[in-house]
Amino acid sequence: MNSAEFQQARQTLGLPAADLARMLGVSSERAVQTFSDWANGRRQIDQGRARLLRAYLDGYRPPDWP
């Protein structure tokens, strides 16, 4: 998943950054920097989180979905 795909996924899901971080297993303390790195292409989202994000985009909703 590239930076543009990540940004589009965030917009499509419409979740606050804190909720999306929790759903992707990113600590809330690091969420802002991690998301910024992913969105700006400084770091690539790992494959596991990218798969999970794609599943959310395809309609998967875990029981603790915000």
Q: What does the chain look like in DSSP terms, one character per residue?
A: --HHHHHHHHHHHT--HHHHHHHHT--TTTHHHHHHHHHTTSSPPPHHHHHHHHHHHTT---TT--
pLDDT at 66 over 90: no
Which residue, chain included where needed, has tokens 């899901």?
13
In this prediction, residue 59 carries a pLDDT of: 96
Query: Which residue, among 47, 53, 61, has the nearest Cα to 21 in the 3D structure?
Result: 53
CATH 1.10.287 fits 3-57, yes or no: no
Residues 1-26: tens digit of each pLDDT: 999 999 999 999 998 888 888 899 99
Q: How far apart are CA 15 and CA 22, in angstroms?
A: 11
As a whole number, mean pLDDT of residues 35-52 equals 93
In this prediction, residue 61 carries a pLDDT of: 94
Average pLDDT along the chain:
92
